[in-house]
Amino acid sequence: MGFSTDAIHAGQKPDPVTGAVITPIYQTSTYAQEELGKHKGYEYGRTHNLTRQSLEANIAALEKGKYGIAFASGLAATQALMSLVKSGDHIIVSKNVYGGTYRLFELIMKDYGLDFSWIDTSVPENIENSIRNSTKLVYLETPTNPMLTLTDLAAASDICKKHNLISVVDNTFMSPYLQNPLLLDCDVVLHSSTKYINGHSDVIGGIIVTSNDKVHERIRYIQNAIGAVPSPFDCWLILRSTKTLAVRMERHVQNAMELAKFLDDSNLAEKVYYPGLTSHPQHELAKKQMRGFGGMISADFGDTEKAKKLLRNVKIFTLGESLGGVESLISHPASMTHASVPKVERERLGITDSLIRFSVGIEDIEDLISDINNALNG
Ligand code: P1T
């Protein structure tokens, strides 16, 4: 099936009782059992929920995987993946990832005896050179938040297969519409479904997709045993949202391309980071492994006061954390999403105090461009 057909139908059959076309919100904590040991396969809400199962099947289809496992947030999904390793194991991570992922690994999971190497995975050989006897998992984010650096997923998954390592890809910035890591032989895909998948800035959620039976079995067990499950209503909202994912992404990509070109051509910014620009060092790789360049742009304005002026004066862009919603957001990674990364490390990554991140929404592009122009020149 094509992407939009799956988005609208996968995991969703009309309700057998009433024929309701839309999957109901099964807002229940428990289920009536007929007699001891006899029930309909549904025992308790944390373990089984049909709205959640529909969402999981839907996203699994969009990511070309066998299994989806939904969580209450993207970070809860990342934390669940840590159950694939144990104390003493070593994990290789893209050196630039979402600040919350950095915080989870460095400030929390490290205390449980896990060892993390933060490396530049945009050079695949760096992955191979960092492998130790204790290495178990490679955690990639591509494009990265907020520097939009890419990792060659085919090359990375090759290395992981050769060394028997689990490859995980945070695909949040692309959404399943623009990139499918499982098709490039990676083992696990993770999304903060808070972002493009839901797309309406009204849900916090996360999801893991895999075709690996053993990974699925473990993560499914953890979903129930640790219990960071999403509510039936949140699952229903996300299911509603995936129906329009394709059309939303088309518009995000179109608007971001125009805004990136404007920022670049107008010389308003000193440096523009967007994989769709031919000046992006990995533009060719982007064309190869992605089906569009995404809706996220970062730009360095070279001067903190200029960056602050922009953040203060925008009227359509909203200053706020998060991304991937229909409305445009603007943020300051150094003090917001990546505040928990030490300043020296931030500077090394390019997350300067004058770096601004744009989540380009699906409004009229002329209005978005005028908003930036007026904020800086008005
Ligand atoms: O916020 P949550 O649903 O827990 O997802 C965490 C997460 C994971 N991966 C990536 C690439 C992310 O960008 C995020 C969350 N990011 C933001 C809140 C942000 O503004 O960048």
Instruction: Look at residues 189, 176, 191, 140 and name the one whose alpha carbon lies nearest to residue 292.
Output: 176
| Res 91: pLDDT | 98
Do residues 95 and 244 make contact, with C-beta atoms less than 8 angstroms apart? no
> Residue 230 has which token pair?
């999403």
Residue 204, judged by CB atoms within 10 A of its CB (0-12, 13-18, 19+), counts as: middle
At 302, the pLDDT band (50, 70, 90 cuts) reads: very high
The pLDDT-based confidence of 239 (bands split at 50, 70, 90) is: very high
Reported as type and span, the H/E element at residue 22 is none
Q: Going by C-beta distance under 8 Å and a sequence separation of 6 or more, which residues neighbour residue 305?
A: none
DSSP state of 194: T
**In angstroms, rounded to a whole number, what is the distance separating the alpha carbons of residues 300 and 180?**
29
Average of pLDDT values for 195-216?
A: 98
Question: Does the pLDDT of residue 259 top 90, yes or no?
Answer: yes
Contact 297, 259 (CB under 8 A): yes
Catalytic residues: 46, 98, 170, 195
Percentage of residues of the chain with pLDDT beyond 90? 99
pLDDT per position as a tens digit, 150-159: 999 999 999 9
Ligand 1 centroid to 92 CA: how many Å? 19
258 pLDDT more than 90: yes
Above 90 in pLDDT, residue 362? yes
**Which atom of ligand 1 is nearest the CA belonging to 146?**
21
Q: What is the pLDDT of residues 207-234, one digit of tens each?
A: 999 999 999 999 999 999 999 999 999 9
Give me ligand 1 centre to Cα 73, in Å.
Answer: 9
Q: What does the pLDDT read at residue 285?
A: 98
DSSP secondary structure, 217-279, as one string: HHHHHHHHHH--PPPHHHHHHHHHHHTTHHHHHHHHHHHHHHHHHHHHHTT-SSEEE-TTSTT
For the CA of 206, the nearest atom of ligand 1:
3
Distance 204 CA to ligand 1 centre (A): 9
Return the pLDDT at 181.
99
Would you say residue 255 has pLDDT above 90?
A: yes
Tokens encoding 252: 């995000």
pLDDT in tens, 323-352: 999 999 999 999 999 999 999 999 999 999
- Rounded CA-CA distance 322/194 in Å is 8
How does pLDDT run across 85-141, given as a tens digit for each residue?
999 999 999 999 999 999 999 999 999 999 999 999 999 999 999 999 999 999 999
Burial class (CB in 10 A: 0-12, 13-18, 19+), 186: buried
Rounded to the nearest angstrom, the distance between the alpha carbon of 100 and the centre of ligand 1 is 7
Give the number of other CB atoms < 10 A from CB of residue 347: 13
Q: Which residues line ligand 1 (CB under 6 A)?
A: 73-75, 98, 100-101, 141, 145, 170, 172-173, 192, 194, 204, 206, 321-323, 337
Enumerate the domain spans of the chain: 3-242, 245-377
Q: Are 228 and 79 in contact (CB under 8 A)?
A: yes
| Both structure tokens of 170 | 């945070």
> What pLDDT score does 11 carry?
97
- Among 73, 169, 194, 328, which residue has the most ligand 1 atoms within 8 Å of its CB, making it the best to mutate? 194
In the predicted model, is pLDDT for residue 286 greater than 90?
yes
> Is the backbone peptide bond immediately before 14 cis, with ω within 30 degrees of 0?
no
135-148 average pLDDT score: 98
Which fold, 3-242?
Aspartate Aminotransferase; domain 2 (3.40.640)
Model confidence band, residue 378 (pLDDT cutoffs 50, 70, 90): confident
| Average pLDDT of the residues of the chain | 98
- For ligand 1, atom 18: residue with the closest CA: 322
Fold topology of 245-377: Aspartate Aminotransferase, domain 1 (3.90.1150)
d(C-alpha 177, C-alpha 262), whole Å: 25
